[in-house]
Amino acid sequence: MVSMEKVLVFAAMSLLVIVIPGPSVLFVVGRALAHGRRTALATVLGNLIGSYALVCAVAWGLGALVARSAAVFTAVKLAGAAYLIYLGVHTFRHRGDLRAANPGAPVGERRGDLRTVLDGALVGATNPKGMVFFAAVLPQFVNHAAGHLPVQMMTLGLVPVVIGLITDTLWGLGASAARSWLARSERRLSGIGGAGGLALIGLGVTVAATGRAD
């Protein structure tokens, strides 16, 4: 299997890539500002599911196809960008429906949480930065002589997923705390929700404009 030395090097590389805010982090922050901590944490969970789906895709060969084919890469990238813009427009249009955070208020329906997780999973699975990183870097750290390469990659892929869980959660909690601190009036909270929506729209445009490394 993979040596501990390789695992540590891969973890260090993963940390360097993850700490630089990308689509997943900015998406979590935007959702936290617009809807608060519960939505932010559900989004983090969804992002992790989507990211690990990318790991599995790379492990079983699909990731290499996406990395090699400009057409497939562009299609996946634009799908993620379009969904981000859709969510941003939806959030901005409904900014007036937001209310000041109240820890004692009833929580939303379970279906709402599930939808939030699915939103995060879609963004995580179509994240260009994660797509390129897993397809280009992950295969370099497996032990080819040991065989079972898909299993090795799926196991090694848990390293950035755990790192992402920690860092994205911190981003989400920080953004939701700032939202709670600023939300002293419905007007101000509406402004925060609008800013979160505009941030998602801007993020979608940025992702759409992101080119391939080659």
Query: 50 near 126, Cβ under 8 Å?
Result: yes
Give a yes or no: residue 11 inside a domain.
no
Q: In whole angstroms, what is the distance from residue 78 CA to residue 84 CA?
A: 10
Structural domain total, the chain: 1
Q: In whole angstroms, what is the distance from residue 36 CA to residue 172 CA?
A: 9
Instruction: Please compute Rg for the chain using Cα positions.
Output: 18
Give a yes or no: residue 51 inside a domain.
yes
Give a yes or no: residue 53 inside a domain.
yes
Domain range for 65: 23-209
Q: What is the pLDDT of residues 26-69, one digit of tens each?
A: 788 878 877 888 899 999 999 999 999 989 988 887 655 655 66
pTM to 2 decimals?
0.67
